[in-house]
Amino acid sequence: MLKELYIKNFALIDELTIAFNENLTILSGETGAGKSIIVGALGLVLGDKAKTSFIRTGAEYCVVEGRFEVAFSHPVFRILKQKGIEYEKDGLIILRRIISKNAGSKTFINGLQVTVKDVQEITALLIDIHGQHEHQSLLNIKNHLLLLDRFGKLRKDLEVYQRSYKKIIDLNAEIKKHTVDEREKERRIDILKYAVKEIDKARLEEGEEEELEEEYKVLKNYEALVSSVTNAYNNLKLDDTSAMTMFEKALAELKKVKDFSNDVAGFTAELETTKFVVEDTALNLKNYIDSIEYEPGKLDTILSRLEFIKSLKRKYGDTIQEIKNYGRKCGQELEQLEVNEDVIKGLKEELDRELDSAREYAVSLSAQRRVCAHALEESVKKELVYLSLEKANFKVGLGYRESKNGPVMIDSKRYELSSSGLDHVEFLVSTNVGEPLLPLKSVASGGELSRIMLAIKTVLGNVDQIRTFVFDEIDAGIGGKVAWAVGNRLSDLSRLKQILCITHQAQIASKGDLNVYVAKVSKGQRTITEVKLLNSKEKVQEIARMISGHNISDAAIEQAYEMIKN
């Protein structure tokens, strides 16, 4: 519900705050006092076009802020979450609109700047304004089927159908994923087969490339390696002045005197150990020389293999492991393509079964909707008569969308399915006998449309998710008995919804749970609009004024008391 409306520097309004009742709030006052200005300010919060002409004369900007209190079960919070708009645990939603002469228009929801489109999407779930305004959910055809289903309590039947419909969408997507153009499929198979064959034939081994590079380095420097290693071996072992000869001579001298000194004995042991190490190293050098075999052409073979591995890496992966993994993936895809026909066949068979189920659910749901549509039509017509719109007619137009390839055939024609079933629903009205039934948005705006909307809202009050209704000009051209009927229905509807109503009719104003008086007053050289929340005595005075004018008589006061009492 709309808890509070704050307005500053808007048209004739200097600054005011209005707190609203959760049931029926009546706004009354002299013609031109500014009642419609308040509704216009509310429309600005809801996303109406911003104009700098709205800014009060002498001011640089205007601000309008609406505070809505909403139950957490309401779908508006799902939209807020999707848009990344935070909200408090108390369920308060604050909408703020600022128009500046220099900075243009800015819109905020809970302190976050958003687009006007965001505001319109969110407030469309919160409030309807009936009169010279576009904030009427009933003017949006998309809502008509939703309201019909809620009226007929068809939610469970719709959910059964929608589960089937979703499965159809998923199956079609799966079939599309598996379906490949035949030429493209053959091309892909050739590419995959070539890659698998090339990788398999390569017989790659982990670490192979490193080993080849090491062997290449050795063979490329074969002569230098053999020469240096041979010289090193000779210096350690074979030459007359080799290290081993020197070790043996040194050891022979030390052994002569090792028994005379512990230190010399230690030196002898160390030298013997070192001799063994040098001898072992010399042996290793000899074995290394013997292991190097220079084969003519082997260097070219290694280079060729390394280049081949590099070419595979350029095509299939940065490492041998990645190349082998790619080969496995190609094999799996190849296998999948070869069995794809069987997969598609199975999916299509499942799709046919699901389409049969969806058709059955859709036809059954459509039949129930037609019964509910008739009940809704009769209920709304009764309300139209009660509101003295006897010549008006209301009809729920149901039709199917014809489609050349539609899955549902009725009377030799094919129709398409949507997420809501077979039906296209639109509420139609005619205001006079003999006139054609037209969409609601084609009906002349003003009081007549507002009363038609009131009739529909009265019937759909229990199922409409919108919590707040605003009626402007609902009393245009009516009085007496009709005004009483309108007041009664507004009062009845306000037990289910929050109602804000601008009226000049005492019969309607007497029904108010909260009465707000709007007046235009002069302050210095300025004219401004002010509001006053009326107490019970002031409410009587205001209704008496509406009955008799400014010269309020005792009879008018007594009549006002009776109206309120009744």
Mean pLDDT of 451-470: 90
Which residue has 């639109």 as its token pair?
426
Per-residue confidence at 134, pLDDT binned at 50, 70, 90? Answer: low
What residues contact residue 455 under an 8 Å CB cut-off, 6+ apart? 380, 383, 384, 386, 387, 389, 394, 489
Structure-model confidence comparison of residues 327 and 227, the more confident one? 327
Kindly state the percentage of the chain with pLDDT values over 90: 35
Residue 374: predicted pLDDT: 96
Mean pLDDT of 305-316: 86
pLDDT tens digits, 100-129: 988 889 999 998 999 999 999 999 889 988
What are 201's two structure tokens?
């034939």
The total number of residues shown for the chain amounts to 566
The structural domains of the chain, ordered by start, are 1-132+448-455+464-534 (3.40.50.300), 186-316 (no CATH)
pLDDT tens digits, 265-307: 888 888 888 888 888 888 888 888 777 766 667 777 888 888 8
DSSP 300-348: HHHHHHHHHHHHHHHHH-SSHHHHHHHHHHHHHHHHHHHHHHHHHHHHH
Mean pLDDT of 307-313: 85
DSSP 216-242: HHHHHTHHHHHHHHHHHHIIIIISTT-
Asked whether residue 181 carries a pLDDT value surpassing 70, the answer given is no
Per-residue confidence at 379, pLDDT binned at 50, 70, 90? Answer: very high
Asked whether residue 133 carries a pLDDT value surpassing 60, the answer given is no
Cα–Cα distance measured from residue 366 to residue 400, given in angstroms and rounded to the nearest whole number = 10
pLDDT tens digits, 332-371: 888 777 767 777 888 889 999 999 999 999 999 999 999 9
What residues contact residue 117 under an 8 Å CB cut-off, 6+ apart? 47
User: Do residues 95 and 109 touch, judged by C-beta distance below 8 A?
Assistant: yes
Max CA pair span of the chain: 152
pLDDT tens digits, 50-71: 888 889 888 899 999 999 998 8
Per-residue confidence at 136, pLDDT binned at 50, 70, 90? Answer: confident
Per-residue confidence at 509, pLDDT binned at 50, 70, 90? Answer: very high
Cα dihedral 309→315→319→322 (10° resolution): -130
Residue 132: predicted pLDDT: 59
Amino acid identity for residue 122 in this structure: I
Asked whether residue 262 carries a pLDDT value surpassing 60, the answer given is yes
Amino acid identity for residue 138 in this structure: L
Cα dihedral 76→81→87→92 (10° resolution): 0
Residue 492: predicted pLDDT: 92
Question: Which of the 8 DSSP states describes residue 259?
Answer: G
Query: CA gyration radius for the chain?
Result: 46
Residue 290 CA from chain centroid, whole number: 75
Amino acid identity for residue 544 in this structure: A
Asked whether residue 221 carries a pLDDT value surpassing 90, the answer given is no
Residue 544: predicted pLDDT: 92
Q: What's the predicted TM-score (pTM) here?
A: 0.68
Residue 30 has a CB neighbour count (10 Å cut-off) of 14
What are 536's two structure tokens?
């019970």
**β-bridge pairing 468-471 and 127-130:** parallel
pLDDT tens digits, 475-494: 877 878 888 999 999 999 99
Cα–Cα distance measured from residue 288 to residue 500, given in angstroms and rounded to the nearest whole number = 102
Which residue has 């008086």 as its token pair?
517
User: Do residues 427 and 397 touch, judged by C-beta distance below 8 A?
Assistant: yes
DSSP 45-108: HTTPPP-GGGBPTT-SEEEEEEEEE--TTSTHHHHHHHTT----TT-EEEEEEEEETTTEEEEE
Residue 412 has a CB neighbour count (10 Å cut-off) of 5
What Å distances lie between residue 150 and 178, 462, 464, CA to CA? Answer: 39, 9, 8
What are 480's two structure tokens?
């007496």
Residue 338 has a CB neighbour count (10 Å cut-off) of 12
Residue 294: predicted pLDDT: 67
